[in-house]
Amino acid sequence: MSRTKRHHLQTPIMAISDDGKITYDLDYRSKNDDAWYTAGVVLEKGKQLRVKLESFESSDDDEVFSTANFSKHHEIEEFLDRFRPVSVPFDHDECSTLIEGTKVCATYTYDGSVRYFDAIVDAVYFKEHTPEKCLCTYLLFWQHGPDEGNITAAPIDGICHIMSGALDPKITDFLKPVREKLTRPSSQSSHTSKTPFLSRKTSSNQTLKKLQASSSDSSSNEDSSSVRFSKGTGKFKTELYNQDKEMGGIKETGSHHHYIILENLEKNLSPVIMTEFIHEQTSITTSAFVFPSLSTETYARGAVIVDTRQKLKMIHEFITNPNHFIVSKLTGRPWVIGEDVFRDGAFNINLHMLQPKSENKNIGGKLKLVRLGTEEYERAKKSKDLYMEFRNHVNGLVKRLDMEEKKKWGTN
């Protein structure tokens, strides 16, 4: 599946890998325009990985990575997210398998050129046709690219299966020294010294003293903490990584976040499940929290956090899309956004011990989309309406309490 050229071709300069082979069997998401290209990789002396785009003969079009470019664990995951097995176009006789909710890679034309970006099939308008020529129309909700967050119509031509599977072993070989460098004791201690977490090996009193001591030291430090999600490979076993994964993220630098509050969540829902589900559906990297609830409450509230307002807008549109609900597989409880407020601020508090344990993340925590026109959708809609009726009633009581308190204490 050749991708449109970004630049005019120049004199070819072919890089040679250690084994002398280049195989164009990967999809690669470019750093330059965020589009997907058919690509192959060249490992150069074990310290540099050259990504070559099919049909781009000039080395000027290559994208090159060095082992020196990586200093954080999440950078490895973000790098790996740029690769996957090459996508395969849908055949015209496969249109019945291309249904709502399917994540695809599809062509998008702008500025006179064609690029490939990921999208979710939002709706399908089937039309009777022969097996040789599909006449159906697909509405695509774009996950990135020029029309990110918008819906456009497309025929089956140019829509591709997103494949899964093993990547070129040269990528693994390239990352091996990077992983070794980041998992050395000196690297781990530098992280944990900046970001003390409650440890399973330390009493809560001991750790609390460390937290209190470190908070005064770090109050003037510009390298403040934030949380970012990483899919993870299971190969980093440091205390910091395991604890942060339970709340759906890796501790990283930066203190400004954009977030929305979710309601009607399962009380034992794992933030890891939330972040993985959102990433699978939208390709957006997020963090998530599930807040403690009262023993009398049957639901929980939570937050989804990202680093830009545009990403937050996309997630909000995905969650509030009227064509589906996000529900618990166990109970059918739908996610609810009770107020359309985009919030921003710092999530630099330690909520680790308040999160559901990762070993319990599969208990009532699996999520799925239920589509408009199904019985599950109708049940989810009734459940949401019931929750909103309850919520509005509580809001009325809160307003009444506020008025009564102001009257009693003579405040405005």
Q: Are 54 and 39 in contact (CB under 8 A)?
A: yes
Pairs from 187-192 (Cβ < 8 Å, separation ≥ 24): 188/238, 188/239, 188/240, 191/238, 191/240, 191/251, 192/238, 192/239, 192/240
How far apart, in whole angstroms, are the C-alpha atoms of residue 287 and residue 167? Answer: 26
For residues 226, 227, 228 and 234, what is the CA-based torsion angle, rounded to 10 degrees? 130
Mean pLDDT on 65-86: 88
Residue 193, SS3 per DSSP? helix
pLDDT in tens, 28-70: 999 999 999 999 999 998 889 999 998 787 888 899 999 998 8
pTM above 0.85, yes or no: no
Q: Where are the alpha helices (DSSP H) in 236-349?
A: 239-246, 271-282, 309-319
Which pLDDT band, with edges at 50, 70 and 90, does 1 fall under? very low
Percent with pLDDT over 90 in the chain: 33
Q: What is the pLDDT of residue 373?
A: 77
Of 96-110, 173-187, 347-361, the range with the highest mean pLDDT is 96-110
What is the pLDDT, as a whole number, of residue 81? 87
More confident residue, 77 or 216: 77
Q: Residue ranges of the domains in the chain?
A: 1-86+166-190, 89-161, 225-412
125-147 pLDDT, tens digit per residue, is 988 999 889 999 999 999 889 98
Find the helix or strand (DSSP H, E) in which 332 lies.
none
Q: What is the pLDDT of residue 362?
A: 47
Half-sphere exposure (Cβ direction) of 244: Cα atoms closer than 13 Å: 28
User: Is the predicted pLDDT of residue 157 greater than 60, yes or no?
Assistant: yes
Mean pLDDT, rounded, for 379-407: 90
Of the listed ranges 64-68, 109-113, 172-176, the least confidently predicted one is: 109-113
What's the Cα-to-Cα distance from 325 to each of 260, 279, 311, rounded to whole Å? Answer: 17, 16, 19
Q: Which amino acid is at 16?
A: I
Q: Is the pLDDT of residue 392 over 50?
A: yes
Provide the pairing of β-strand 113-125 with 137-142.
antiparallel
Given pLDDT bands bounded at 50, 70 and 90, which one contains residue 20?
A: low
Long-range CB pairs of 46-49, under 8 A, 24+ apart, other chains included: 46/18, 46/173, 46/174, 46/177, 47/177, 48/174, 49/170, 49/171, 49/174
Contact indicator for 3, 37 with CB cutoff of 8 Å? yes
Q: How confident is the model at residue 13 (pLDDT cuts 50, 70, 90)?
A: very low
What is the C-alpha separation between 136 and 276, in angstroms, rounded? 31
User: How far is residue 260's CA from residue 138's CA, in Å, rounded to a whole number?
Assistant: 30
| Backbone dihedral region for residue 183 (phi beyond 0: left; psi -120 to 50: alpha; all else: beta) | alpha
Tell me the average pLDDT across 338-366.
Answer: 60
Check residue 58 and give its pLDDT: 81
pLDDT surpassing 70 at residue 233: no
Which percentage of the chain shows pLDDT scores above 70? 72
Q: What value does the mean pLDDT of the chain take?
A: 76
Length of the chain, please? 412
Pair of tokens at residue 153: 């119509």
pLDDT digits (tens, 9 = 90+) for 267-322: 889 899 999 999 888 888 898 989 988 889 999 999 999 988 888 888 998 898 88
**CATH 2.30.30.140 corresponds to the domain 89-161:** yes
